[in-house]
Amino acid sequence: MSVGVVEVTELAKSEEALRRSEAGLRLALEAGEMGSFEWDIRTGELRWSENLETIHGLPAGSFGRTFDAFKGLIHPDDRERVLGAIGHSLETGSDYESEFRSAGSDGEEPRWMLGKGKVLVDEGGRPCRMIGVCMDITRRKRAEQATQEANRRKDEFIAMVSHELRNPLAAIMNQAALLDRITAGDDLSARACAAIRRQAQQLASIVDDLLDVSRLAAGKLTLERTTQDLAALVERCVQDFVGRRLLDEHRRELRLSPAYVSGDGPRLEQVVSNLLTNALKYTPRGGRITVTVDRQGGDAVLRVSDSGIGIAPELMPRIFDLFVQSDRGLDRRDGGLGLGLSIVRRLVEAHGGRIEARSAGPNQGSEFIVRLPGAVALPAPGQAPGAGAEAVPRKRILVIDDNEDAREALVGLLEHAGHEVHQAAEGVAGVESASQVCPDVAIVDIGLPGLDGFEVARQLKARISNLRLIALTGYGQFRDRTRGAEVGFDAYLVKPIEIDAILDTIASR
């Protein structure tokens, strides 16, 4: 065989190999629902692989083969972002990547694309070409959107259900409190009432946790910060547990030194009481619970440790995730939904702090350590804890609430506490009644038919001087409270609430 024939055969072989590899590449691109592109940056010419037009929903041969034609294909809402990403790659030489909608040509729903590219430079280091792929990610994007939508609906549903549960719970608690007072001296009734109130309180705290979860998920939590001594706050929480006889069956040790933080008092109490509740729940009777507060570096550090059932190493990395619980018996004696620690972590983080859990393993006890940035300022003066149950002077009170059961129960309780009470079932009647009786205190529901509670408050404030205005409502969102303060409410109580808290609020000026 002559040399020339050998060369021709070799050439034919390598052309055949090239064709095969190109065909293979085309098939692979098609299988991945992607096409390739090559952009000559200097001339603006943009070459597409055949299938890119189909991927973009364009008729074959219709693409203008220039960068400007491509710009026109990007959905107007995404254009600036995509061009920004391309510009950034050209400037920095980094890889280009961007997700965008392609407007297509057929007026159908826009398709989602993922573009990725590499920048090539000339001898002078200037970008001259970009080579890359573009793939159809419409299915993935729609699935993501459907998941987000389902998630949003779930959060809305949780928020709505929790909100709807508040009114009946408030009525149950108030009626039980009323029964308790009118049947005073009857041991059996007292025990039954106490059980109803305990159970309703438990339901109320589940509802609160659910509301917190949806608020935190939606990023709607706002902190009302003041300077707090963490040690005093912890002491108050522990005393509350002692008062409710929750710590009777455990040995406890407290070592609290002053440590100031800038925080939302009720939210920090929620953190402490969640950790204490868990320590109690997961530590058998007779076990030890230790709570310490001190300063370390610039931080205020709270430790809640116990000698209880401990935490298995495999649970540790997920312990602060939503709905995570250790395996438990079918009786679910420990109850709970696995919300508490997740809420605690988010609250701590919202304060700029960190939380960690430690345990040497099952039955070795657990320790939760919260670090919050320390504050240097001294606490605001006059932040005495709750007013207590001293004798209260008789007041003239007007209750405006459209929920008949809740209103009747509240009226009964207030009368039983020695107050003169008037009532109205809606806003206009409430304002009229107020003009006649001139109350010292008005307790106003927010979700009233006709005139809502905010408008009622505005009118009452304008007509009656020295009126103490209390909102009593299921709407506990921060923006509602802010609005409440704007229209002149002196206090904003969220249902369900214990009657003693209402009486304290009426008494304090």
Applying CB under 6 A, does 477 fall inside the site for ligand ADP?
no
Footprint (CB under 6 A) of ligand ADP, residues 349-378: 366
Of residues 448, 444, 455, the one with CA closest to residue 483 = 455
By CB under 6 A, tell whether 338 contacts ligand ADP: yes
- CA 2 vs. chain centroid, Å, equals 81
Query: Least Å distance between CB 358 and ligand ADP?
Result: 10
Sole residue written with tokens 């709505």 = 160
Candidate segments 18-26, 108-116, 140-148, 304-312, binder of ligand ADP by CB under 6 A: 304-312
Q: Which stretch binds ligand ADP (CB under 6 A): 16-24, 33-41, 250-258, 305-313?
A: 305-313
Stretch in the footprint of ligand ADP (CB under 6 A) among 58-66, 116-124, 127-135, 317-325? 317-325
Angle made by CA atoms 408, 167, 267, in degrees to the nearest 5: 120
Contact 417, 392 (CB under 8 A): yes
Residue 152's CB: how many other CB atoms inside 10 A? 12
Closer of 175 and 307 to ligand ADP (Cβ) = 307
Tell me the C-alpha to C-alpha distance, in Å, between residue 291 and each of 4, 55, 238, 305, 339. Answer: 92, 62, 9, 6, 22
Residue placing its CB nearer to ligand ADP in the complex, 279 or 413? 279
Minimum CB distance to ligand ADP smaller for 333 or for 509: 333
Taking CB under 6 A as the criterion, the residue among 237, 289, 319, 372 binding ligand ADP is: 319
Which one among 263, 340, 412, 474 touches ligand ADP, defined by CB under 6 A?
Answer: 340
The encoded tokens of residue 83 equal 């061009």
Binding window for ligand ADP (CB under 6 A); candidates: 87-95, 247-255, 309-317, 423-431: 309-317
The type of residue at 332 is R
How many residues touch ligand ADP under the rule CB under 6 A: the total is 20
Q: Which residue number is nearest to ligand ADP in terms of Cβ?
A: 336
324 binds ligand ADP (CB under 6 A): yes
Sheet order of strands, 96-102 included:
46-48, 34-40, 127-136, 111-121, 96-102
* Length in residues, the chain: 509
Phi and psi at residue 439, to the nearest 5° = -70, 160
Helix (H) or strand (E) holding 492: strand 491-494
The answer to the question of residue 311 lying near ligand ADP (CB under 6 A) is yes
Beta-strand pair 366-373/299-306? antiparallel
Contacting residue, 193, 268, 276, 279, with ligand ADP by CB under 6 A: 279
Q: Is 290 in the site for ligand ADP (CB under 6 A)?
A: no
Of 279 and 502, nearer to ligand ADP (C-beta) is 279
348 belongs to the binding site for ligand ADP (CB under 6 A): no
Structure token digits, residue 246: 């929750």
Distance of CA 499 to the CA centre of its chain: 29
Contact flag: residue 200 with ligand ADP (CB under 6 A):
no
- If binding is defined by CB under 6 A, does position 421 make contact with ligand ADP? no
* Beta carbon of residue 317, minimum distance to ligand ADP (angstroms, whole number): 12
Candidates 309, 431, 491, 502; binder of ligand ADP (CB under 6 A) is 309
Q: Is position 306 an interface residue for ligand ADP (rule: CB under 6 A)?
A: yes
CA angle, 44 then 46 then 51, to 5°: 170
Q: How far apart are CA 470 and CA 491, in angstroms?
A: 5
Closest CA to 106 of 71, 52, 57, 62: 57
Residue from the set 127, 282, 433, 476 that interacts with ligand ADP by CB under 6 A: 282
361 Ramachandran zone, left/alpha/beta (phi>0; psi -120 to 50): left
Q: Which spans of this chain sit near ligand ADP (rule: CB under 6 A)?
A: 278-279, 282, 306, 308-311, 319, 324-326, 336-342, 366
